[in-house]
Amino acid sequence: MSSLRLCYETFEFADIDIHVRRLRNRQEYQDDDGEAEALGISTSNWSLFGVVWESSILLARLAYSFELKERRILEVGCGLGLPSLMLSLRGADISATDYHPEVESFMKANVLLNDCKNIPFFLADWNADQKIAYPDFGTFDLIIASDLMYERGHAELLASFIDSHAKPVCEVIIADPGRGQLGRFGRLMAERGYTSAAIAPTSAVLLPGPDFSGGAERFVRG
């Protein structure tokens, strides 16, 4: 990782500060062993895991007030894992998954940077051919994700992946910047027995910025 240009940023959430080591910009690239290329990650998309996206900030703000109640929680497509770090600092049983081979090392570095407990990480691609066997990391009471549906067909893939790791009684929270697939995702989740409702921003959970046109939605089953 020495050839990558990195920087550090602090995000403030009321009484919790989260320090994040991230890529300095979206032009960074390093895949000397070809591992990312073998997973289908193009050079243009390689750096996307190392950016803190506005939807992730919104999800972390929501996570500040999640009721934990000893629930097992999973963040899908975690990237730098800002919401996961928030939940870990709050003492939650949080695990994370992503398909980018560099995510785990960044997650470990940020766990140390924030002096929080270990966040179990699983390399798995929710946006993969369904014939590929996912790691068996169990089922969860709460599943969260942010800004994952950015291509046609992603709603179907994400709904299928989430459902395969959801307990019969489960809550799902999705933060989305308004890419147009959340409605399709909601219909697919309804077919799987979930009811849904938008999460209205409050004074305690403000949107990331004035230009952010998205929001968050909660899906509940059981």
User: The pTM is what?
Assistant: 0.92
What span, in angstroms and rounded, lies between the C-alpha atoms of 199 and 218?
A: 7
- Give residue-wise pLDDT tens across range 54-104: 999 999 999 999 999 999 999 999 999 999 999 999 999 999 999 999 999
Q: Is residue 78 part of a domain?
A: yes
Domain of 96, CATH number, reads 3.40.50.150
Report the 3 state secondary structure along 32-72: CCCHHHHCCCCCCCHHHHHCCCHHHHHHHHHHCCCCCCCCE
What mean pLDDT is predicted for residues 202-213?
A: 67
Q: Is residue 2 part of a domain?
A: no
Task: Give how many domains the chain has, as a whole number.
Answer: 1
Q: Is residue 204 part of a domain?
A: yes
3-state secondary structure of 18: strand
